[in-house]
């Protein structure tokens, strides 16, 4: 593909790490190939992308946009005004930046920006991370040139002729964990002679998962396991105080784990929510996984993400409502059955899409042509 001037690409969306990190990964992969490209990210004011995107080295503009609450809420009265204001600002940003293409990764800001871009005749690409498409992406798909999806069978939501099955782009450092276990055990202060349960509830934390660990932590340690546990920012002080008071020596609670490659390398079994990015990362990691989907997400898409893997015998499902009191027994069923553990690890690895970012770049090239 040839062009005499610098490419200009807008990327919109955010709200959660599951939207932001794929967006940054797409930008990084494109910039590796076309280093002179200018990017402008568009996010929602007050959301985490307004911090994370600049930290990654990219400029971002914020829209005063928010979601429509499913319950009766006074905030819904402001929704039409915020939406109209966001559409006006999105149109202004497009007029000023003059992008060659616009990419939407989901999240509040994605709708106004892609809608405005499509009205201007600018090629748009949607990157749908989940196995169950949201309403905004379904509406935008009618005029999008290409839709990159993370799961097969997405033709029930989108025009089949526009679909490219790429998977979700994830961080590069988890691609190769070979030889990192000893380093990981030293880094986290783990016992090399014990099996390790890695528990992840996201950067903010997952209340049910945290309470399930607290409920079963004595039983987990008595069974000979050690737990490497990311409790999340909202719950760390409470969980840490309970672990400290228990006197248990092999329950390692951390607010946040930055060295995820080492955490995955140390793990024998992983317990996790089933957000799109987590599922994609765990596919590449290739460890036995117990998914505890969050019930507090739109369209229950975490359960649908998890079931896409459970149906392939590539993961175990533990419902959120059952997690407190049943975590240890569910972990036992995997830890103590080597044949089952190996089968789960092998099957989830088969579902990995390690070249997702590169394939999305190729799809974006095609629409700019």
Show binding-site residues.
16-18, 130, 171, 203, 257, 276-281, 302
Structure tokens at 318: 């533990």
> 207-222 and 236-246 helices cross at what angle (nearest 10)?
20
Taking the C-alpha atoms of residue 171 and residue 24, their distance in angstroms, rounded to an integer, is 10
- Which pairing describes strands 101-104 and 8-12: parallel, antiparallel, or unpaired? parallel
Distances (CA, A) of 261 to 172, 174, 228, 258, 285: 9, 5, 13, 9, 9
Alpha carbon dihedral 159, 282, 288, 346, in 10-degree steps, equals: 60
Tokens 């030889």 found at: 179
Phi, psi of 42 (to 5 degrees): -130, 120
Structure tokens at 88: 């006006």
Whether the CB-CB separation of 220 and 198 falls below 8 Å is answered with no
Tokens 């971002």 found at: 60
- Binding residues for UDP-N-acetyl-alpha-D-glucosamine, as ranges, are 16-18, 130, 171, 203, 257, 276-281, 302
Structure tokens at 304: 């649908």
Taking the C-alpha atoms of residue 207 and residue 300, their distance in angstroms, rounded to an integer, is 17
Taking the C-alpha atoms of residue 300 and residue 295, their distance in angstroms, rounded to an integer, is 6
Question: Which ranges constitute the DSSP H helices of the chain?
Answer: 17-33, 49-55, 79-97, 110-119, 135-140, 181-188, 207-222, 236-246, 260-266, 276-285, 301-310, 320-335, 338-350, 356-368
358: Cβ contacts below 8 Å, ≥ 6 apart: 29
Number of Cβ within 10 Å of residue 53's Cβ equals 23
């Amino acid at each position: 593909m040839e062009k005499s001037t610098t490419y200009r690409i807008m990327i919109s969306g955010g709200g959660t790490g599951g939207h932001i990190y794929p967006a940054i990964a797409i930008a990084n992969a494109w910039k590796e190939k076309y280093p002179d490209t200018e990017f402008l990210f568009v996010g929602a004011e007050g959301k985490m992308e307004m911090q994370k995107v600049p930290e990654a080295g990219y400029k971002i503009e914020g829209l005063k946009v928010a979601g429509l609450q499913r319950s009766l809420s006074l905030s819904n009265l402001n929704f039409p005004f915020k939406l109209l204001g966001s559409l006006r600002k999105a149109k202004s940003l497009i007029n000023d930046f003059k992008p060659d293409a616009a990419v939407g990764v989901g999240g509040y800001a994605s709708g106004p920006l892609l809608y405005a871009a499509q009205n201007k005749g600018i090629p748009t690409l949607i990157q749908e991370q989940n196995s169950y498409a949201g309403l905004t992406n379904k509406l935008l798909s009618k005029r999008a040139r290409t839709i990159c999806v993370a799961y097969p069978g997405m033709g029930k939501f989108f025009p089949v002729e526009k679909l490219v099955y790429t998977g979700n782009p994830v961080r590069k450092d988890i691609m190769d964990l070979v030889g990192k276990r000893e380093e990981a055990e030293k880094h986290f202060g783990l016992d090399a002679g014990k099996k390790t349960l890695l528990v992840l509830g996201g950067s903010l934390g997952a209340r049910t998962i945290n309470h399930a660990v607290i409920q079963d932590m004595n039983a987990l340690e008595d069974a000979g396991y050690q737990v490497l546990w990311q409790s999340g920012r909202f719950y760390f002080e409470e969980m840490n105080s309970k672990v400290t008071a228990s006197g248990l020596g092999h329950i390692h609670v951390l607010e946040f784990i930055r060295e995820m490659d080492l955490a995955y390398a140390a793990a024998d079994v992983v317990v996790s929510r089933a957000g799109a990015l987590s599922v994609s990362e765990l596919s590449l990691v290739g460890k036995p996984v117990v998914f505890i989907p969050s019930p507090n997400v739109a369209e229950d898409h975490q359960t649908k993400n998890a079931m896409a893997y459970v149906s392939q015998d590539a993961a175990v499902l533990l419902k959120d409502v059952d997690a407190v009191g049943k975590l240890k027994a569910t972990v036992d069923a995997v830890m103590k059955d080597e044949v089952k553990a190996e089968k789960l690890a092998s099957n989830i690895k088969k579902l990995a899409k390690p070249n997702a970012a590169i394939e999305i770049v190729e799809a974006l090239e095609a629409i700019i042509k």
